[in-house]
Homo-oligomer: A and B are copies of this chain.
Amino acid sequence: MQFFFRPRGIALIGATANPRKGGHSILTNLRRGFDGPVYPVNPRYENILDVPCFPSVAAVPDPVDLAIVFVPGPKVPDIIRQCAARGIRGVMIESSGFAEAGPEGQVLQQELVAIARETGIRLWGPNCMGLVDARRRYVFSFVTPTIWDEGLTPGKVSLIVQSGLLSGGFLIDLMTHGTTGISKVCSVGNKVDVNECDLLQYLTEDPDTEAIGLYLEAIPEGRRFLELCRRCPKPIVVLKGGKSPAGAEAARSHTASLAGDGAVVSGAMAQAGVVEAAGFKQMVDICRTLAEYPEIRPEARGRVAILTYSGGSGIISADGLHALGLPLARLSEQTLAEIKKIFPDWMPVSNPVDLWPAVEQSGAQMVYTAAARAALADPEVDVLFIHAFSGGFDLGLDLKEVADEARRRGKPMVCWLLGGREAARHFQLEVQALGVPVFREIPRAVECIKAVFTPRNRSVAPAGAPLVPDNAREMVQRAAGVLDEHRAKQILDACGIATVAEAIAADSAQALAAAEKFGFPVVAKGLLPEAVHKTEQGLVRLGIASPEALATAWGELHAGMDGKGEILIQPMLRGQPELIVGALHDPQFGPCVMCGLGGVMAEILEDVAFAVAPLSRADALALIDRLKTQPLLNGFRGSTPVDREALAEILVRLGDLMTACPQIREIDINPLICVEGKPVAVDASIFVAQ
């Protein structure tokens, strides 16, 4: 991919002297920053902007690795063939008019796919804004050259974005404010060939990139993407567009690609140690924070010391931290005593540390520095949250010494800043140059502290073949369609998943024999082919307490099915909690496993979590931990705690089954009842593709 990022020479096809056109902007941008030769290609000009122009790609001299194409869509396929013939290795297609532009464009895009396959040339785009590299000052994009006016602020964060806006308008916004630096922005467009995976792989190795943010509307190579995230040692933040039903609808019409279900995406991201964002600026803010603090000390638990010049800001910060589950540090006696030295006599020291009275007495610089040193030295403090002000009643703070001390101690430090428009901007630049992220709103600072202390557990996918016994595989091979609960549980049982005892009763005598074996009370269910909603269809009789009641129930079920189905007898299991577990094939991530609270609460709380199969045991335990209601599993008021290892084992086996038998489309175990802490599958269905 190096020819895209560091080409020795660039051919610009579609260069033009018309300053209102993108082909002119690209040339301007290349001339202002690119340090290699640029070859405009356009048969209508001899020169553009004093650069000699070539009539065709074939005529372009060496060295040339990369072509940037900005000509109308229908002309693109032929241009790419010419590029391939000329030995150009990569083409960045910035033209639009492809899959995003209706059926004709889709045909055109298919042609690009074919050419790439045929010639081996790598294609970036189409319908994209190319690449901006603020460190090298490479702007391979038609983004307006006004972007140069405020300078391209270099930074440690690289972005991969499936939206022209984020590499265009948003970038202009970021760059002109000047307070957020960027390393590379890669606009992937329609991703006909080069996609987020290729770019993530490149940026993982890129020495100029210390954190990676991605805005994605679809992740077609979901599993490859996850593997790359798992292996990337740099922090990764993803903003996934189209996670809501409404958003997904917009995604389809925008990129003609299928957006994944929100819960599956979130599960997959958590599994791969990726932080999720909810907005553009928030994504970049989290990225720039994690770029400064990619790793935390193993013993750090996110305990925050707040140094403020305003009691109110301290309180709002403490409230915000509490809402996100971050603890305020309990300052040690020594720290309190140290800070007391700089405080007025009457003032007690607590956290948040309100420095204002001390500042009035002794000046901000001394007071802030002393308090910060004391807090940083405190083993109870994991992170320092400093409130600053610049302009107006300038605190006159120089945070260099404090920032150095924080870094020495391996403790993150973030700063919230108010101030006059210009003064605050300058202070922000100054402090950020010290490696301290500065924010203009307390809640954003708190969100970013949260991201630093969110464990980025990059579990490794289990090695080796999925563990599925041969008899289970054989049962699946013989099956088709929606399996009734008895057949489904036979497969689960073969996989080593505990299921309720049960027997088919061909007549009421067999029913009685089964019931006597299990012990009353029992349950009788009518199994009809393809009848998924047994309860609603009147095919379930719970709590049958006597032989007489059983005979009646058997008779009613038998009559109700017109003699078509079978009747199943089970003991009536009772236990808490009732869970639901399942599995499905996600179009982006493939086989996935789900776990959640069952019954009525499942529908109200929507508290389910997903992970991509196959799962390691650690994956499965982490999946369970992601449930909001997971404290319920610990046992309440004397009830037996759920055996998490046993539950995790069920999730692992479900994942293995899905992986080994791709013809299984969906599995539902609902309910999975925890009897004395042990989860048992009481009802289940499996859908096997025909």
A328 with B419: CB separation less than 8 A:
no
Query: Within 8 Å CB of A101, what residues of B?
Result: 344, 346-347, 357
Nearest B residue to A327 by beta-carbon distance? B246
A170 with B418: CB separation less than 8 A:
yes
B279 with A244: CB separation less than 8 A:
no
Task: Confirm or deny: A151 has a beta carbon within 8 angstroms of a beta carbon on chain B.
Answer: no
Residues of A627-684 at the interface with B, using a CB-CB cut-off of 8 Å, are: 628-629, 631-632, 636-637
Q: Give the shortest distance, in Å, between A381 (CB) and chain B (any CB).
A: 14
Interface centre among A246, A253, A535 (most CB of B within 10 A): A246
Size range of the interface on A?
Answer: 35 or more
A282 with B250: CB separation less than 8 A:
no
Task: Confirm or deny: A254 has a beta carbon within 8 angstroms of a beta carbon on chain B.
Answer: yes
Residue-wise interface mask of A (66-100) relative to B, using a CB-CB cutoff of 8 A (1 in contact, 0 not): 00000000000000000000000000000000001
Task: Confirm or deny: A490 has a beta carbon within 8 angstroms of a beta carbon on chain B.
Answer: no
Q: Give the shortest distance, in Å, between A181 (CB) and chain B (any CB).
A: 15
Q: Give the shortest distance, in Å, between A269 (CB) and chain B (any CB).
A: 15
In the complex, the count of this chain's copies comes to 2
B442 with A392: CB separation less than 8 A:
no
Majority SS at the chain A contact face: helix
A314 with B348: CB separation less than 8 A:
no
Query: Within 8 Å CB of A351, what residues of B?
Result: 250
Task: Confirm or deny: A421 has a beta carbon within 8 angstroms of a beta carbon on chain B.
Answer: yes
Query: Within 8 Å CB of A169, what residues of B?
Result: 309-310, 389, 392-393, 418-419
Task: Confirm or deny: A322 has a beta carbon within 8 angstroms of a beta carbon on chain B.
Answer: yes
Nearest B residue to A312 by beta-carbon distance? B163
Which 9 interchain pairs have the tightest Cβ spacing? A102-B346, A163-B312, A244-B322, A254-B311, A165-B310, A241-B315, A247-B319, A172-B392, A247-B318
The residues of A with any CB-CB pair to B shorter than 8 Å are: 100-105, 143-144, 146-147, 150, 161-166, 168-170, 172-173, 176-178, 215, 217, 239, 241-247, 249-251, 253-255, 278-282, 309-316, 318-323, 327-328, 344-348, 350-352, 354, 357, 389, 391-393, 418-422, 424, 440-443, 535, 576, 600-601, 603-605, 628-629, 631-632, 636-637
Q: 7 A–B contact pairs at CB < 8 A?
A: A104-B346, A162-B312, A173-B419, A247-B319, A250-B351, A251-B315, A280-B442
Apart from A172-B420, A246-B327, A280-B316, what are 9 other A-B pairs with CB-CB below 8 Å?
A165-B309, A165-B313, A166-B312, A241-B319, A244-B318, A245-B322, A253-B348, A282-B443, A604-B632
